[in-house]
Amino acid sequence: MTEKEFNNCVDSCSDGLYRFLVKNLKDRDTAKNIVQSAFEKMWMKRTEVQSEKARSYLFTTGYRLMVDEWRYQQRFSGLDAAADHYAEEVYAERNDVKRLVDRAAEALAPEQKAVLTLRDFEGYTYEEIAEITGLNMAQVKVYLFRARTHIKKFIGSREEVL
Amino acid sequence: MSINKENYEMYFFDLMEGNLSADEEKQVRAFAAQHPELEAELAAYTQSVLVADETVVFENKESLKRKKGGFIYLFHPYLSVAAIGILLIGALWILNQPESSSTGLLANSKDTTSAVQPSSTEQAVVPEVTAENKADETPVVPHVTYATTVKKSDRNSTPKRAVQKEKLTTPVKFTPVQEPIQMAKVDTSIIKKDIPQIHLEQQVEKRVASVLPDINADSAQVVVVQNNQPEPAERMGVKETIVNKVGNWLSYLSKPTLKIDRVKEDDKTRLKIQLENERLKMMSTMKAGL
């Protein structure tokens, strides 16, 4: 990809990648760092990455870096405080159903949430999600099914309360 | 297709996901209509879509973008050609300097060759060194210089030649660069600044020879190779640039500590950078990425 294509990709992809990472990591600083690293890597591999595959490359790289971050957070659970603060911020601004979906998604396993985010935020097909995450298509579908079923149950249980 | 109360969730999911044919979709909707108690669940499936918050944007996009070429290219193309020419002429001039005026850092094979023919000035200045003296002599500088390399290669030659070589090596006034080990904390705020990426690309990327995370020692060693000749990169503070580069790479780490050490070898200078952070245990998958 050319320098111009790379810079165009910054304009067209950085927000989406950032949102995906923020949603899954719940930490904006870490998400920013991963976005920077993903673009840095793509620049270094620019001769190999075709511009039409750039978005997918960025999400794949971002996803892998995010997995490293998850592992780190599992070891050092003290980092979750920032995440809780972010969640509260978001919930306060959303209407009821969206808030319920957001809250339900917070309880998902990280991989399920990542798959769901790729599907809903970016509209990726099962095949594309499988490429990005390294899962197979059957696993992607199962993760999505479990995620949506969990959200469905969460909405059902809370709507009665509301 | 046989939808029933045991498997309806998968069909509701497929309906919501758009995985069904028109015919199958019709059957699922008919099933939901027959079971009003399940209609709320179908509605809940259709609502189970995460909506991206469009107000969340990556603010400093310019920091991700690349600008054309290196620092020379920032100017007019003709100017860049002229600048490169001047640099070449300067380099040639330095290489052709008489030995007495050159320092050890700039000594090269051409200098040493010319010095093999002893001049009268050299003989007057340099005391004669015996073979015993030579044997006991330890290098003043632990780093291997060009001059000492020549001496080693001619070790088996005649004593007369050996004396000549002492004359050859001694005038090379190599000043040892005993730089203290520097401890540098990588401040993540550095990373957020607009680091001059062109410099990183041109002057550091090529020199990063290897990254060797040592899982057991909670550290990694970044070996950066550069020529012994003073280069623009060095003059422009290559150390800082490397710190930024590594800092950028390791921006996931909380407060990584870098220990920089300079080691001179035959014809290269290696900057060994020790990265100290326990998160490096997690970084093995990233070692190829720098």
Among A10, A64, A156, beta carbon nearest to B40 = A156
Kindly state whether residues A52 and A104 are assigned to the same domain.
no
Domain holding A102, by residue range, is 94-162
Residue that terminates a domain, selected from A89, A118, A138: A89
Largest Cα–Cα distance in chain B? 113
Quote ipTM for the complex: 0.84
Q: Are residues A81 and A154 in the same domain?
A: no
Element holding A122 (H helix, E strand): helix A110-122
Interface test with B, best of A113, A148, A150 (most B CBs within 10 A): A148
Determine the Cα angle at A132 with ends A127 and A133, to 5°: 100
Same domain, A82 and A103: no
Which of A89, A111, A141 corresponds to the end of one domain? A89
For B262, list phi and psi in degrees, rounded to 5.
-110, 130
Of residues A76 and A97, more confidently modeled = A97
Are residues A144 and A123 located together in one domain of the fold?
yes
Residue-level pLDDT at A87: 52
DSSP assignment of B119-140: -HHHHHHSPP--HHHHHH---S
Helix, coil or strand: residue B209: strand
The 3 state secondary structure assigned to A131-150 is HHHCCCHHHHHHHHHHHHHH
Please identify which residue in the block is written with the tokens 């899962």.
Answer: A135
| Same-domain status, A6 and A72 | yes
End residue of a domain, out of A43, A74, A89 = A89
Q: Write out the H or E segment, with its range, that includes residue B15.
A: helix B8-17
By three-state DSSP, how is residue B272 classified? strand
Interchain contact, A120 vs B286, CB within 8 Å: no
Residue B12 distance to chain A (closest CA, Å) = 10
Q: Based on DSSP, count helices (H) and strands (E) in chain A, helices before strands.
A: 8, 0
CATH classification of the domain holding A71: 1.10.1740
| Mode of pairing for the β-strands spanning B219-227 and B208-214 | antiparallel
Same domain, A59 and A105: no
Q: Check CB contact under 8 Å for A23 and B52.
A: yes
The one-digit pLDDT tens for each residue of chain B (290 residues) are 688 888 999 999 999 999 999 999 999 999 999 998 888 888 889 888 988 888 899 988 888 988 765 444 444 455 666 777 788 888 877 777 665 443 433 334 334 333 344 433 333 333 344 444 444 444 443 333 333 333 333 444 434 444 444 444 444 444 444 444 444 444 444 433 333 332 332 333 333 333 444 434 344 444 444 433 333 333 333 444 444 445 444 444 444 455 555 666 666 555 555 555 444 444 433 443 33
Check which CATH number belongs to the domain holding A124 and give it.
1.10.10.10
Token pair belonging to B238: 């290559």
Task: Kindly state whether residues A51 and A99 are assigned to the same domain.
Answer: no
